[in-house]
Chain A
Amino acid sequence: MKPRYDSIVIGAGAGGGIAAALLAESGRSVLLIDRGPHETYASAGHRDHLRNQRISTYGHNAGPDIDGNPRVAVDAQGAARTVAPHEAGYQNNAAIVGGGTFVYGGQAWRFLPKDFRMASSYGVPAGSSLTDWPFPYEEIAPWYERAEWEVGVAGDSPGSAAIWPRARDYPMPPVPRGPAGAVLQRGAEALGAPTLTPPLLINTLPRAGRAACIECGSCVGFPCPTDAKNGTQNTMVPRALATGGCELVTFATAERITTDGNGRVTGVSILTEADGRVTRHEVAASEVVVSAGAIETARLLLASRSPREPQGLGNAFGEVGRHLQGHSYPGLFGLFDHDVAIDRGPGVTIATTRWNHDNPDVIGGGMLADDFTVLPIIFWKRGLPPGTRRWGKTAKAFMRDNYRRVIQMKGPVHEIPSPDARVTLDPAVTDRLGRPVARLSGLVHPETVRTMRFMHERAIDWMQAAGATEIWGDMPPQPWLSAGQHQAGTCRMGSDPGDSVTDPLGKVWGHDNLWVCDASLHPTNGGFNPVLTVMALAFRNTAHMVAAA
């Protein structure tokens, strides 16, 4: 690490990887840091079905480590408890170069035009902070296209063009549909719901020097055996490094962003870890991009206090950390009287956007799709019908008879943000580096619960229309806080410094050289997996940074 760079990018995930590439390609010297390691399939491809981003009974394969990374979760009754990354309430996202993109399923959805104007379309429910994005779909559409082409998406171009205004096809054809897709297609037709094969950040053809997907079915939660899954770790971060102007430092955590007496950002205090020793580096920079994920980005801004901003950078109006949201997922299982399993491919094969908007009596909605191939232990833990005795002949027979005859359906609901769902700094608990940890409190807005219930019923409709003989899966019994891998909203973009953290380009209000570049920016989080939107914003906002300089 050098004493100064033109740019420091904090967090090498979906947003940071792209920001680093575009900044380095503009000729800047760039320091890209990540709190986690830089792994490959060979080093991290070991398939541990009990320790991954889908089922973390005993930890995660892509971090953070169980020890030394606590958070504090406040429950609906106001009781606070310290939680480890693999425990309920932590709202984990991967801590590794590539971030979640190293191990994701890679669903590459654009948000719909109406997703960008939720408040205009539906009004603002009491107690919510529902708002419009500060720009329309048409503004981000070309940047979606760049993400689709430069990171690499395989999709159903005609199916997509029937739903989204789009100028250009996907660069690769979609993944194959299996028996579940055929069954659900008939059901969707009976309901008059148009479908498409979900777009995925996966090479279905050899591309950019890497192989095509071998359809191993071991996709979501794990790194890819053939490197055919496109994360930033194998696309944009290598582009950044290829310039020769970007230095990637792993096991490096931003402690605080430093400012001068006028509030101008001067650099980052960085803690590196090696052989159990922690070293502090004060690194200067002309500009800083924070892309640590919606929880850690907010935490870092809140921890970067200065005499001018004693409540944290960009937090003059107490907005940093609020509106924490993710995706509440209605999910259910349908039993069919024949084999519906797909043996090849990522597993997710068919989706509908029929119920994302224009629904009676609810705000918004969400996309519904079949799921990635379900691991046997996940099927056992979450997929047995209620009332099934979980031991003895019955459970084993159910697994044997029905594992291949069950379709799981789920979909992300466009959440109605609440200002009370938020990240603050815990006053007492610190992590292994001595940094105050994120304290997560609040609940989803009641309108989110209502929309989720509506979508749950639509999923039942679809399963029934497809011929499921038995359907199960419940709504959560208690209100919950939503964040998780789709965490968003904590540094929202806006046109008014009084009710947002950044301007419409992601620049933190009151600072000429501090940017946020991750899903923290999302004023609302769409009824879709958000990663393509994170990527599109990163392309757009970084391109503006480069052009403005």
Chain B
Amino acid sequence: MTAASDLDGPVLRAVIDRIIPADDDPGALELGTDGYVLHRMALEPAFAAAVADGLAILRRLAGNEPFETLPPDRRDALLLGIETEPWFARLVEVVAEGFWADPDNGGNRDARSWAIIGYLHGLPEGPSGPPEQARP
């Protein structure tokens, strides 16, 4: 497997799953935040390349077992070891953007994250406001 293919594969999702994990409430993967991350990486090739390199290191650290099939606590332990790496800090930031921002950004399906914390937007048309329209 090449490093680049990790970007659209199970290793990346296995990392995102631990950045905002499911508990009694849904985590990042259930809200589609991985799609938002892929979108950002498509727009920022340098970020994508750094993440690809980072994921390759994680696969090496996982040894003979595939990172993505490790139990959550073992994945967390490996991520603790690399959490200060710039690529991971930026990935955490991007995952949070997708998960906590408005649903139209693509990472917060049905505004579920807002329901989790009790943010009530009060907009008449729904969480993202009116549909985008052409300028008058």
Which residues of A are at the interface with B, using a C-beta cutoff of 8 A? 37-43, 45-50, 57, 214-218, 222, 225-226, 341, 343-344, 375-377, 379-381, 389-393, 395-397, 399-400, 403-404
Residue contacts A-B, CB under 8 angstroms, 23 given = A39-B135, A40-B136, A47-B128, A48-B104, A48-B105, A49-B101, A49-B102, A216-B121, A225-B130, A375-B101, A376-B100, A376-B113, A377-B96, A377-B100, A380-B100, A381-B93, A389-B83, A390-B96, A391-B20, A391-B92, A396-B23, A396-B27, A404-B117
CB-CB under 8 A for A49 and B133, given A376-B100, A396-B21:
no
Residues of B within 8 A of A403 (CB): 117-119
Do residues A391 and B122 form an inter-chain contact, with CB atoms below 8 A?
no
B86 to nearest A CB, angstroms?
14
> CB within 8 A of A217: which of B100, B122, B125, B132?
B122
Do residues B120 and A46 form an inter-chain contact, with CB atoms below 8 A?
no
Cβ of B124 under 8 Å from chain A: yes
Residues of B within 8 A of A399 (CB): 100, 116-117
B9 to nearest A CB, angstroms?
20
A52 to nearest B CB, angstroms?
10
When each residue 88-128 of chain B gets 1 if its CB lies under 8 Å from chain A and 0 otherwise, what string results?
Answer: 01001101110011101100000001101111111111011
Residues of B within 8 A of A48 (CB): 101-102, 104-105, 128
Do residues B121 and A217 form an inter-chain contact, with CB atoms below 8 A?
yes
Q: How many residues of B contact A (CB 8 A)?
A: 43
Do residues B21 and A392 form an inter-chain contact, with CB atoms below 8 A?
yes
Given contacts A400-B116, A400-B117, 12 further A-B contacts (CB under 8 A): A42-B133, A45-B130, A46-B130, A47-B121, A47-B129, A222-B129, A225-B124, A376-B113, A377-B96, A391-B92, A391-B95, A395-B20
Do residues A391 and B23 form an inter-chain contact, with CB atoms below 8 A?
no
* Chief secondary structure at chain B's binding surface: loop
Cβ of B131 under 8 Å from chain A: yes
Residues of B within 8 A of A214 (CB): 122, 124
Cβ of B11 under 8 Å from chain A: no
Residues of B within 8 A of A397 (CB): 23
B136 to nearest A CB, angstroms?
6
Interface centre among A215, A344, A397, A400 (most CB of B within 10 A): A400
Cβ of B79 under 8 Å from chain A: yes
Cβ of B18 under 8 Å from chain A: yes
Residues of B within 8 A of A46 (CB): 104, 128-132
A98 to nearest B CB, angstroms?
14
Do residues B133 and A43 form an inter-chain contact, with CB atoms below 8 A?
yes
Do residues A391 and B19 form an inter-chain contact, with CB atoms below 8 A?
yes
CB-CB under 8 A for A50 and B97, given A215-B122, A396-B23, A399-B117:
yes
> CB within 8 A of A57: which of B97, B117, B124?
B97
Cβ of B76 under 8 Å from chain A: yes
Determine the residue in chain B with the shortest Cβ distance to A393: B21
CB-CB under 8 A for A49 and B116, given A215-B122, A391-B79:
no
Do residues B136 and A392 form an inter-chain contact, with CB atoms below 8 A?
no
Interface centre among A49, A226, A391, A397 (most CB of B within 10 A): A391
Cβ of B1 under 8 Å from chain A: no
Determine the residue in chain A with the shortest Cβ distance to B89: A390
Residues of B within 8 A of A404 (CB): 117-118
Instruction: Pick the 7 closest A-B CB pairs, nearest first.
Output: A216-B122, A403-B117, A47-B129, A49-B101, A377-B100, A376-B100, A391-B19
Cα–Cα distance between A339 and B122 once the two chains are bound (Å): 18
When each residue 12-50 of chain B gets 1 if its CB lies under 8 Å from chain A and 0 otherwise, what string results?
Answer: 000000111101010100000000000000000000000
Residues of A within 8 A of B127 (CB): 47
Cα–Cα distance between A403 and B25 once the two chains are bound (Å): 15
B74 to nearest A CB, angstroms?
14
Residues of B within 8 A of A343 (CB): 120, 122
Cα–Cα distance between A43 and B133 once the two chains are bound (Å): 5
B24 to nearest A CB, angstroms?
9
B70 to nearest A CB, angstroms?
15
A84 to nearest B CB, angstroms?
14
Do residues B104 and A216 form an inter-chain contact, with CB atoms below 8 A?
no
Determine the residue in chain A with the shortest Cβ distance to B111: A376
> CB within 8 A of A392: which of B76, B101, B104?
B76
Cα–Cα distance between A39 and B83 once the two chains are bound (Å): 43
Interface centre among B89, B113, B127, B129 (most CB of A within 10 A): B129
B85 to nearest A CB, angstroms?
12
Do residues B135 and A376 form an inter-chain contact, with CB atoms below 8 A?
no
CB-CB under 8 A for A45 and B129, given A218-B123, A377-B96:
yes
Do residues A216 and B101 form an inter-chain contact, with CB atoms below 8 A?
no
**Which residues of B47-97 have CB atoms within 8 Å of chain A's CB atoms?**
76, 79, 83, 89, 92-93, 95-97
> CB within 8 A of A376: which of B79, B114, B122, B124?
B114
Do residues B117 and A391 form an inter-chain contact, with CB atoms below 8 A?
no
Cα–Cα distance between A216 and B125 once the two chains are bound (Å): 11
Cα–Cα distance between A502 and B76 once the two chains are bound (Å): 62
Residues of A within 8 A of B131 (CB): 46
Cα–Cα distance between A214 and B21 once the two chains are bound (Å): 35
> CB within 8 A of B96: which of A47, A215, A222, A381?
A381
Determine the residue in chain A with the shortest Cβ distance to B128: A47
Interface centre among B21, B101, B118, B134 (most CB of A within 10 A): B101
Cα–Cα distance between A12 and B102 once the two chains are bound (Å): 30
Residues of B within 8 A of A226 (CB): 124
